Chains A and B, each alone.
Chain A
């Protein structure tokens, strides 16, 4: 592709036009408007693209605030959306005191996220509702795989020296390999935030590309550590580099940072995903993680996905919530919908 460096936008646009004329293939994983998208195989690092990144924090915050007020779902639509939120969950336990038994409990909940009588009341037996994945440390991959056998719930492992990501690169790559060998379907990796602060984009790209290679067929979610990066521009740039290096998902946070998944951060990342899809014809998923605890929040995030990217990004293939406490609130809301009475936490089995 010949890139006119004075007008990289235009050059990319024409490349995108060419891509859009390609024949539809069975590899289509998403639609962006009328456009068919493939899974992300990465592109060479494009520094011009990074230089063009513009993010106005106040305007992004305003959009995030008003978007929540612009969209709402009620009654049976709300129930359907909450069920969808459940299906997009990465039910997570990442604590120092995790044990095999704790993980098995979580997996049991992942198989049956809402109790059977509620399933019947909602008339959704046919959906076979389950969460998207269970997310654990490497140590518990085997436990989770056994507990989830035959359920279709995937097992995700955090990796690469999670959450700081500061162990030697070779060890981080080896960690991925070990998890993949252990059978993890998905690997959540963390980036070296220092590369972002230092604008060492090539180093960041190489790091993520190495992770990508180590992941092999496993899905790679790249955690940007938005709460550490702090500026939205940094978040956008890091997101683009991760996508260029072949991320299947980009993920907001480790859940261990001072602030985690906020709507402004999410908005910047989904806009980046949209632009990447428009320019390359490839779809990257999105995972907000940390701080999402209420049913209302989950609806806001789903609405953001629908507004900014479209319905393809409201499915577990391209959208996940990284959560530990959200499910309880959703269960209560669903019971309220089903019975008309407000529910209590202890009425729902815990994970």
Chain B
């Protein structure tokens, strides 16, 4: 076709990015890659390799080593061996290495972008303009944290050896999100790239060599799910960071339950995209393009559930269909392509199957007239309307370019629909009314809220989910905390195993006049309640004397307590000042009853400890009353014109297994930080002295604590823990006990992936104020929600 003809047709024509350099790079490696362990390349012990394909045409790009248990072991050893030297470096030295990595990513940016697109199928525009620049930005930002580590985190130390498993949707970006904070805080790393997309991680290994990174600080072991499993199960790994599916996240939680491995999980999502009638609709439609038609919709935070106000539904749907019609789908190396290839046949099959299922359930499917390339794995942009919350396409993650559209009537209903999901990763709110937008943002159960924008990411801002979207954050100060621990805690001694005193010869209380029986009950919804079981448990002094009887709570009592706690969620909305007032009042009332409580507690822990527990207990309550309005969030500084608010929000309803060694002070040390931050609590007091419940509820009843904010169920922790940990309406569990108890809490929490925080079976000195209270507890009592609010006129 001549130029004159093209002058008439005004078509785009092809604009291919040259893959020559990337292919040369592959050729230089003989299209075969080994494992990067201890700074050198090693053949896999199995001798096996697997193919990695170009999803845009199905052709083999290279073969990659299948790492196994032996290779993982070698990699973990290398990481462990490198750990001492790496930690011994000054923060400034580590900062220099990270800075070098950032520079190298920039210097080789085009090779990395082209490789990423070839291996993954994403449009070159995205890998070139989004993925790779964010990779460099992540290393720059964390070079800064490396530099500031000692100043900003005194008393903390790195976890040690970190196992990291990353997904295929943003291969190098997820590597950066994992490796940069790990190295910046002094950890060494074994990283397993996704099976479908290992190439850029291997190219990154070369950059590590070029940067002169000490051998073993970064190890890259390619392989499949079994390789990841070997990494998760390796006994010498201190932390696992995983990004991927919720199902695998569950398996990892379960597999690591009996270990001290720290865990951060970034899992699936079904993120709502809410458009109000007063939104800039054309811009909101572009937001959707960046939301669900970004990276072929293979984005954990994709705005896959469109919620639109009824009044604009028709107009909006028409605009969306028009816009879908101008999306260009085709070979991802073309610079003018919007939608590239789906990563693999199996993923394409899954998308096709789910869309078919959605249609079978009554959804209307609309796709623009597009011609898909004859080879490779492609799926057209898809709009499903007539979708209801009950539809599978509204509930389950499709991980494809498929938008499910629903309507709402009021802001209240928008929030209700948005939160009607087991996930809680991200969300979008479009409205030109800042009152509406922030009102809704505050109520969304999601780790990220984008107001009038979509899928903005930055190293300075935390990213991560609520609910079954995982726990922990990546990016920002909040993300860094995942890779370090307070030194005192890391080196705390194990909790000595304690046995409850057994009954001695039964003695009767001798008195001429019998004392009035003092019956302790459960405390549920602000009321004293008899246990469902109708049984009691004997409570004895260390020498076996019967001190009294506590109600024997069971699963129904837990159920009732959780319901009461849920109903008390207004506590979270109470002002921080108000919460502080209530806590101060608790302290005041505890002080009033000091004498009698010390007297009773002394029978269990002795006079001296009892006095200390009450005295320090008053102080502890004061501390958390003080903290209530001072544990501020932050305003991050991403390189955009916006306000990125990192808000500390309560986790929600939290179950607490209280420590046995300090029946009163241990209870207050855990429950008070939670309450101070606006959580509601179901506490199981120590079996050693559950009678403390009677003193506690008198305290709470007289202190204006709203009914249900704190609920106390006494009983055998081993039994109640199971119900608590398995309860799907509890958002978190704090379990303080011995190794076995803590492991059980973790293992049983996988149902709704509730956040688990434990003492790792270690002894905590509740009488040492420096260790037993403060920010570390508050950080666990809250989760960070990042709200992005662009501005400009």
A57-B322 in contact given A13-B315, A74-B13, A83-B7 (Cβ < 8 Å): no
A306: CB under 8 A from chain B? yes
CA A123 to CA B4, docked complex, whole Å: 7
The answer to whether A127 touches B4, judged by C-beta atoms less than 8 angstroms apart, is: yes
A72-B432 in contact given A54-B279, A59-B453 (Cβ < 8 Å): no
The answer to whether A124 touches B12, judged by C-beta atoms less than 8 angstroms apart, is: no
B353: CB under 8 A from chain A? no
Closest-by-CB residue of A relative to B334 is A72
Closest-by-CB residue of A relative to B6 is A80
Q: Which of A55, A57, A62, A70 is close to B338, meaning CB atoms less than 8 Å apart?
A: A70
The answer to whether A71 touches B12, judged by C-beta atoms less than 8 angstroms apart, is: yes
The answer to whether A59 touches B287, judged by C-beta atoms less than 8 angstroms apart, is: yes
CA A77 to CA B11, docked complex, whole Å: 7
Q: Report the minimal beta-carbon distance from B123 to chain A, rounded to whole angstroms.
A: 9
The answer to whether A311 touches B125, judged by C-beta atoms less than 8 angstroms apart, is: no
* One of B575-583, B612-620, B785-793 at the interface: B785-793
A102: CB under 8 A from chain B? no
| Chain B residues within 8 Å of A58, by CB | 452-453, 641-642, 790-792
Closest-by-CB residue of A relative to B335 is A72
B14: CB under 8 A from chain A? yes
Q: Report the minimal beta-carbon distance from B337 to chain A, rounded to whole angstroms.
A: 9
The answer to whether B286 touches A59, judged by C-beta atoms less than 8 angstroms apart, is: yes
The answer to whether A33 touches B322, judged by C-beta atoms less than 8 angstroms apart, is: yes
B283: CB under 8 A from chain A? yes
The answer to whether A73 touches B283, judged by C-beta atoms less than 8 angstroms apart, is: no
B435: CB under 8 A from chain A? no
Query: What mask results when residues 5 to 45 of chain A are scored 1 for a CB within 8 Å of chain B, else 0?
Result: 00101100100000000000000000001000000000000
A122: CB under 8 A from chain B? yes
Q: Number of B interface residues, CB 8 Å?
A: 43
Q: Report the minimal beta-carbon distance from B9 to chain A, rounded to whole angstroms.
A: 8
> Interface size bucket, A side?
35 or more
B282: CB under 8 A from chain A? yes
Query: What mask results when residues 291 to 320 of chain B are scored 1 for a CB within 8 Å of chain A, else 0?
Result: 000000000000000000001101100000
| Chain A residues within 8 Å of B505, by CB | none
B15: CB under 8 A from chain A? yes
CA A271 to CA B285, docked complex, whole Å: 12
B3: CB under 8 A from chain A? yes
B85: CB under 8 A from chain A? no
The answer to whether A70 touches B793, judged by C-beta atoms less than 8 angstroms apart, is: no
B129: CB under 8 A from chain A? yes
| Chain A residues within 8 Å of B793, by CB | 57, 231-232
A170: CB under 8 A from chain B? no
The answer to whether B3 touches A59, judged by C-beta atoms less than 8 angstroms apart, is: no
Closest-by-CB residue of B relative to A83 is B7
A69: CB under 8 A from chain B? yes
A77-B12 in contact given A55-B280, A61-B792, A307-B326 (Cβ < 8 Å): yes
Closest-by-CB residue of A relative to B123 is A70
| Chain B residues within 8 Å of A232, by CB | 793
Q: Report the minimal beta-carbon distance from B48 to chain A, rounded to whole angstroms.
A: 41
B37: CB under 8 A from chain A? no
B-side residues, CB < 8 A to A, are: 1-4, 6-7, 10-15, 125, 129, 278-284, 286-287, 290, 311-312, 314-315, 322, 325-326, 335-336, 338, 432, 452-453, 641-642, 790-793
Further 16 A-B residue pairs, CB within 8 A, beyond A71-B336, A311-B10: A54-B278, A54-B280, A56-B432, A58-B452, A59-B283, A59-B286, A63-B283, A66-B290, A69-B125, A73-B12, A74-B13, A77-B13, A81-B10, A126-B4, A271-B282, A307-B326
A-side residues, CB < 8 A to B, are: 7, 9-10, 13, 33, 54-63, 66, 69-81, 83-84, 122-124, 126-127, 231-232, 271, 302, 306-307, 311, 314
A-B contact pairs, 19 of them (CB 8 A): A10-B315, A56-B283, A57-B792, A58-B641, A58-B642, A58-B792, A59-B286, A62-B286, A66-B129, A74-B14, A76-B1, A76-B3, A77-B11, A77-B12, A80-B4, A84-B7, A122-B3, A124-B2, A127-B7
The 3 tightest CB contacts between A and B, nearest first, are A77-B13, A80-B6, A59-B283
